[in-house]
A and B are shown apart, each in its own frame.
Chain A
């Protein structure tokens, strides 16, 4: 028997719904604009130059690499937003289907700084390797990179400030080499398709891969280029002598496949994936013909209020994400600020934890039990976050909110089934952790455009800091300028608000990207399917629960 269909009571004509929906669509429009920018809409000249050389734009390469009509889930498309780097970070990462095999694809965008490795692109690359490693997905990198970002100071910059600002370090980036070769050791194939330069440190990208496809007259792979060789040994050598595709295919043996052009290189890499005959280790979906939800995904647009103080009707969200809107709710009358239950998403069995506001002792206990149950039956967990944190206050402390919150965090931490988290609205404080935030080895974290991630709500944060300042002033016997304090508090709130925005987080690659709420079901299914490429096994033994 399939569980009951959730009975939706959503009023799509209600003023709040219409208002929320309008705002959400504005946010989506803004994200779409940024997405186009990431795809090169503001680098027209660079893209034109690239194409004029007979080369395919990076997204074209990916479109051709993946199967016709197959889905593609891009990871962190807006990485770099709000930083010194271009949106997208000069790298496209995603999960795509190649010859009916889900693969992680990481591709340099040579139209952004020549595909140079920057703080942002390295983060994306490391994340791509992590996704491949955690989910046992074959890894394909489409390489065309000018190498490390060696740009020095701009004329008017103070070197000290640059050093303070630039926190990434050369020594860190070596981890990339470690991770590529680790994949191979784990039995996860790695494929490099080299479309252009891949030099110095970058030369190890193909160097450490299982399979290399080089494009004739385009791939250039050497440790030191002509200038460096000249400087080091005085030897005169051309690019082609040092690292041309033909040389590597016929002399050095670094290239396994020599492609006449980019199309052939892509076709060859598809052939390589085909011969892997990749078998996914997970149990896969329980049905291949899932029912679509009974309600339109459009309803998801109007569920989140601007101030995030209003609760989010999680059953309405679940009804628009799961197969047939069927949901078997667990402990429906206990700890009701956290909705728990079982469903399938595109046929993949899942346990869902959906937090609606504050976590109390009972909801925390419920979560801990539910997580253990899902581990017992090897069922992945979906966390839907709208959480303002664990409850504070005299009564709650006395009831042991710390103990109960810890139980939940203990269960989340030691759970070994895949976790996928979607932050719909607020994600404040330890609530972010308890609901399997990024730090908890969560396989994928997606944000809705309305998401806010912070240690606490911006208003609370500004208020707390104001109270702290007032107390300090009082201790020092100083007089506080109320007017100045109010404007300062407002500034703090605005700053905190800006930092909590989904875009701020996504720009720093602390999630896997902001998704249109209407895409939630597809994104979750892609993520779940990726998780099933590796074994899906729950933890039967947990740490000691403090009771």
Chain B
């Protein structure tokens, strides 16, 4: 039974990715969407699109009844779940099949068997795959730290916590439990030994109804933050042929044990010694599947659809070979400088660097609103090259020259990682991002140049837009006046820039005790050049109201102009603690009148399935609480007023 019309039970980049292959195979696509996504590219590119209305996720992308109902109304004959959402819900797979539709994924029984991480460990262990023993926390045995808490139903790094000392354990378990409940509706946790400086290596497998079971080699995904992958590659730079053979053999054994069908990924953790341990099986298409596609030349979505149609896998194991090296970087709207806090907002400009042969998998476009309901991934960028070094360098170049404005992103971090010696030498482990010194020494200088470029560019723009006297040189005067001044908020600090235009059109610029001559230029492509100290810097500047994004050679800077008369609106009382991001208040820990000590939890905000707890910056008394649990808050919304004066 061939698929003619496919409903994609997902959104964003993965919906577009599946649509592309479906269209190549002549299959019509039905999109479903929450109302906020109505104008998204994935909806436009589908042949039909049906709304799921608005409301919480449980009523939209997690509403299995509604989705199956839409599939039937639109006369779709199959459902592809993508990744995340309902992709690993055995009940959903069962319901899809029960409704007479083709399920593009593994059998529900396999999903169920592997979905419980604890059960999965038992199953694969039985067929000889090495697994890390689970530790019974309740027992009185001496625990060996560090430990890693995981949710049995987990995935995506959610509810995963490293515990370094015994006294952190109980608090961490409580948080993990709450997160697990929220993310998976299941509070079962387990604890393992936490392996430091390990590598995350996973094997892509495919199985069909005809008894074919193949692997498509491995991917290494060691560059992680918050237990979530940000850079993935294939093949792994850290294993040899022998290890590859052992890993792929173990992977095939693991999936064979549960009668697996369709695409799946078997994840392992590999210790520096070479010893490896089974982690889990992901019973779906992985986010990082493109790197495998690049080095093997196969289309995994196509294979998924063929297998679902009952056809055999289109190639044999011995046909498959690795060609070159592929690296994927995940661009997130998040702030690496602030613990990777999501930074939702308006993506004002999205201009991928498309001429270098990089593959962009993205669900956004200029103008897209990045909300706080979903994972803040903007795009995956994949480069395939002959060598790993070339792939890394070209990917860094593509990322650095892609124009992204309106949001704080992890782009600089990705570029710095891809250019880092340890990464290039294949030495980076899962601890890389938490250990490596990625802030380059020239960053402050780069910021200053960015600030000068922005300042002078805006000064010239103000002149050319002036209704009167616009052709008079900027700031011209015959009087003895101080230089022009502007102030910006950058990374929470304030940056003051002075400037004065000279007769020859150059500017005397200054910051603190530094003073320089700078020349500003505007290129026809909208970029701005700044000459200072014998160097020419090129920037792309995007400004929206008071906020500007300045993108230079190496870094992105966000500068927020400070009004020269200060903020004349309602003053915020000193001692007010504000929400660090938009989200929903999951817990208020204190009451008015409470005396709190430094670091004590006050309010917990949940956004994008992560918890962020606002703590007391100093001892004090809670005099006002502006929020209550389960309430939505905006970024910078006042949460708690702390009286810090009443301390002795």
Chains A and B form a bound pair: yes
Residues of A that sit less than 8 Å from B by CB = 35-36, 38-39, 59-60, 62-64, 67-74, 77, 92, 94, 97, 100-102, 263-264, 266-267, 280, 288-290, 297, 346-347, 513, 515-516, 518-519, 522-523, 525-526, 529
**For residue B459, which residue of chain A has the nearest CB?**
A69
Partner pick for A264 among B463, B478, B486, B565, CB 8 A cutoff: B565
Asked if A100 and B467 sit within 8 Å, CB to CB, the answer is: yes
The reply to whether B469 and A77 contact each other, CB–CB distance below 8 Å, is: no
Cα–Cα, bound, A77→B470 (Å): 24
Q: Tell me, in angstroms, the Cα distance from A72 to B470 when the chains sit together.
A: 13
Contact of B479 with A by CB under 8 A: yes
A39 to B475, CA, bound (A): 18
Cα separation A70 to B467 with both chains bound (whole Å) = 11
Instruction: Give the docked Cα–Cα distance between A438 and B463 (Å).
Output: 33
Task: With both chains docked as a complex, state the minimum distance between the C-beta of B451 and any C-beta of chain A, in angstroms.
Answer: 16
Which 4 pairs across A and B sit closest by C-beta, in order of nearness?
Answer: A74-B479, A39-B480, A267-B565, A71-B476
Q: Interface SS of chain A: helix, strand, loop or mixed?
A: mixed
Contact, CB under 8 Å: A525 / B472: yes
Q: Which A residues lie within 8 Å of B471 (CB)?
A: 288-290, 346-347, 525
Q: Do B480 and A522 touch (CB < 8 A)?
A: no
Nearest Cβ distance between residue B465 and chain A, in whole angstroms? 10
**How far apart sit A35 and B478, CA to CA, in the bound complex (Å)?**
9
The answer on a CB contact under 8 Å between B480 and A59 is yes
Residue of A nearest to B563 (CB): A267
| A-chain residues with CB within 8 Å of residue B535 when the two chains form the complex | none
Q: Which residue of A lies closest to B470 (CB)?
A: A288
**Residue numbers in A under 8 Å from B357 (CB-CB):** none
- With A and B bound together, what is the CA distance between A371 and B291 in angstroms? 81
Per the bound structure, the CA–CA distance linking A513 and B482 in Å amounts to 20
Name the one of A59, A77, A100, A522 contacting B468, with C-beta atoms under 8 angstroms. A100
Given contacts A71-B472, A100-B467, contact A59 B564 (CB under 8 A): no
Contact indicator B479/A77 (Cβ below 8 Å):
yes
Cβ contacts under 8 Å, A297 to chain B: 503
> Chain B residues in contact with chain A, CB under 8 A?
459, 462-463, 466-482, 484, 486, 503, 564-566, 568
Q: B478 near A74 (CB under 8 angstroms)?
A: yes
Cβ of B466: which chain A residues have Cβ within 8 Å of it? 67, 70, 97, 100
| B476, chain A: closest CB distance, angstroms | 4
Cβ distance B479 to chain A, nearest Cβ, rounded Å? 4
Chain B nearest Cβ from A89, distance in angstroms: 14
Contact A64 B564 (CB under 8 A): yes
CA of A64 to CA of B564, assembled, Å: 8
B548 CB → nearest A CB, Å:
15
SS of B interface (majority) = loop
Contact of A516 among B473, B478, B486, B568 (CB under 8 A): B478
Contacts of A100 in B (CB 8 A): 466-468
Are the C-beta atoms of B482 and A68 separated by less than 8 Å? no
Interface residue from B462, B468, B479, B503 paired with A69 (Cβ < 8 Å): B462
- Chain A residues contacting B482 (CB-CB under 8 Å) are 59-60, 63
A95 to B398, CA, bound (A): 51
B478 touches A346 (CB 8 A): no
Query: In angstroms, how far is the closest chain A Cβ from the Cβ of B490?
Result: 19
Among B459, B470, B481, B568, the most chain A Cβ lie within 10 Å of the Cβ of B481
Known pairs A69-B459, A69-B463, A266-B565; A59 contacts B481 (CB<8 A): yes
| Complex A-B: 27 CB contacts under 8 Å | A35-B479, A35-B480, A38-B480, A59-B482, A62-B481, A63-B482, A68-B462, A69-B462, A69-B475, A70-B469, A71-B476, A71-B477, A72-B477, A77-B480, A97-B468, A100-B466, A100-B467, A101-B468, A102-B469, A263-B566, A289-B471, A297-B503, A513-B478, A519-B476, A522-B473, A522-B476, A525-B472
Tell which of A64, A513, A525 touches B469, judged by Cβ atoms closer than 8 Å. Answer: A525
| Residues of the B chain whose Cβ atoms lie less than 8 Å from the Cβ of A69 | 459, 462-463, 474-475, 484
* Complex Cα–Cα for A73 and B476 (A): 8
Return A203 CB to nearest CB of chain B, in Å.
28
A residues within 8 A CB of B474?
A: 69
- Complex alpha-carbon distance, A280 and B467, angstroms: 12
A185 to B570, CA, bound (A): 38
**How many Å lie between the Cα of A39 and that of B479 in the bound state?**
9
Report chain A residues within 8 Å CB of B479. Answer: 35, 39, 59, 62, 72-74, 77, 92, 94
Q: Are A68 and B472 in contact (CB under 8 A)?
A: no
Report Cα–Cα, A528/B19, bound state, in Å. 65
User: What A residues does B478 contact at CB under 8 A?
Assistant: 72-74, 77, 513, 515-516, 519, 523
A73 contacts which of B467, B470, B477, B486 (Cβ < 8 Å)? B477
| Chain B residues with CB below 8 A from A264, complex form | 565, 568
**Which residue of A72, A97, A102 contacts B481 across the interface (Cβ within 8 Å)?**
A72
Min CB distance A392 to B, Å, is 37
| Residue contact A267 to B568, C-beta cutoff 8 Å | yes
Residues of B within 8 A of A347 (CB): 471
Q: List the A residue with the shortest CB-CB distance to B476.
A: A71
B468 touches A518 (CB 8 A): no
Residues in B with CB closer than 8 Å to A71 are 469, 472-473, 475-477
Q: How far is the CB of B440 from chain A (nearest CB, A)?
A: 33
Which residues from chain A contact B467 at a C-beta distance below 8 Å? 100
Give the CA-CA distance A347 to B471 in the complex, in Å: 9
Chain A positions within 8 Å of B486 at CB level? 68
* List of B residues within 8 angstroms of A63 by Cβ: 481-482
Q: Which of B470, B503, B564, B568 contacts A518 (CB 8 A)?
A: B503
By a CB distance below 8 angstroms, the chain A residues around B503 are: 297, 518
Shortest Cβ distance from residue A55 to the other chain B in the assembled complex, whole angstroms? 15
Across the interface, name the chain B residue whose C-beta is closest to A285.
Answer: B471
Q: How far is the CA of A526 from the CA of B472 in the complex (A)?
A: 8
Question: Can you name the residue of chain B whose Cβ is closest to the Cβ of A266?
Answer: B565
- Cα A409 to Cα B224 in complex, Å, equals 86
Q: Would you give the shortest CB distance from A64 to chain B, in whole angstroms?
A: 6
A529 to B229, CA, bound (A): 62
| Cα distance, A522 to B474, chains bound together (Å) | 11
What chain A residues lie within 8 Å of B468 (beta carbons)?
97, 100-102, 280, 529
Extra contacts, 7 of them, besides A70-B475, A529-B468 (Cβ < 8 A), are: A69-B474, A71-B473, A77-B478, A94-B479, A100-B467, A288-B471, A516-B478
Give the docked Cα–Cα distance between A536 and B480 (Å).
Answer: 31
Contacts of B475 in A (CB 8 A): 69-71
A297 to B476, CA, bound (A): 15
Contacts of B564 in A (CB 8 A): 64, 68
